Amino acid sequence: MNRTDLQELHYITVIRNVASIMSGAILSHKRSKGINHNSVAMEAIQERRKKKIVPGGRPLHEYVNLYFHARNPMFYVVQSRHIDLCILRVSTQVLDLPGVIITDSNASSDYARFAPAPKGLSIVDKELTFAQYWTHPDPFEAMRRKSAKCAEVLVPDQVEARFIMGAYVSCQESKEAFGALGIDIPVSINSHLFFR
């Protein structure tokens, strides 16, 4: 993948969390522990991530995880909650922050590769990461594609609100809920990203 292939990065969150995020930052799992918030995270996956150390870096839970593309297997699992969720559009400028790491697949995978940003973009398979589907008749290939769809950008500690360019929601009802927060960022309906 090249930097020119990227328009934005994605962060999946509960709409109710956005007011807190916009008044401060998107926080790493560790930093968000003491803050009242609603999580999208699946507990089984978080147990895996809790044990993972980024090679040459810090524990995985000390990074904010952004996706190259939110329409991925992780989001598919929680799609039934689409009315309560949004995808924050994050500027690719975060790639230039100190200590940012890129993964070629889900960071909790045993086979994930890690590389410093922005040069680390070269390890990401653009075709697999932005593919419409990750299914395949060969189960090993399906697993590889599924993991690649979840390639991540790992930002140490937090992503400041100034990097948030807007948000996507799944439907009009979600857009109205987002609008009720009184936050002045562009919000658009993109039902495709939410598997609708």
Least confident segment among 37-41, 130-134, 177-181: 37-41
What pLDDT, on a 0 to 100 scale, did the predictor assign at position 18? Answer: 95
What is the greatest pairwise CA distance in the chain? 48
Q: What is the tens place of the pLDDT at every residue in 99-153?
A: 999 999 999 888 899 999 999 999 999 999 999 999 999 999 999 999 999 999 9
Of the candidates 172, 153, 140, the one whose C-alpha atom is nearest the C-alpha of residue 70 is 153
- The single-letter code of the amino acid at 186 is P
41 — pLDDT class (breaks 50, 70, 90): low
Q: 188 has which bridge partners?
A: 168
Tell me the C-alpha distance between 154 and 174, whole Å. Answer: 27
Q: What is the tens place of the pLDDT at every residue in 43-94?
A: 655 666 777 889 887 999 999 999 999 999 989 988 889 999 999 999 999 9
User: If you average pLDDT over every residue of the chain, what do you get?
Assistant: 91
Choosing from 49, 71, 144, 145, which is the catalytic residue? 49
Residues 6+ apart with CB under 8 A from 73: 134, 146, 149, 150
Q: Looking at the 3D structure of the chain, how many domains does it have?
A: 1
26 — pLDDT class (breaks 50, 70, 90): very high
The upper half-sphere exposure of residue 130, i.e. CA atoms within 13 Å in the direction of its Cβ, equals 12
What pLDDT, on a 0 to 100 scale, did the predictor assign at position 49? Answer: 72
Q: 86 has which bridge partners?
A: 13
Domain hosting residue 119, numbered range: 3-194
What pLDDT, on a 0 to 100 scale, did the predictor assign at position 98? Answer: 96
What pLDDT, on a 0 to 100 scale, did the predictor assign at position 33? Answer: 76
The upper half-sphere exposure of residue 63, i.e. CA atoms within 13 Å in the direction of its Cβ, equals 27
Please tell me the pTM assigned to this model: 0.92
- The 10 Å CB-count burial string (b at 16+, else e) for 29-47 is beebeeeeeeebeeeeeee
Residues 6+ apart with CB under 8 A from 5: 126, 130
5 pLDDT higher than 60: yes
The helix/strand/coil state of 123 is helix
Tell me the C-alpha distance between 169 and 77, whole Å. Answer: 17
Choosing from 89, 144, 145, 152, which is the catalytic residue? 152
DSSP 153: E
- The single-letter code of the amino acid at 93 is Q
152 assigned to active site:
yes
43 assigned to active site:
no
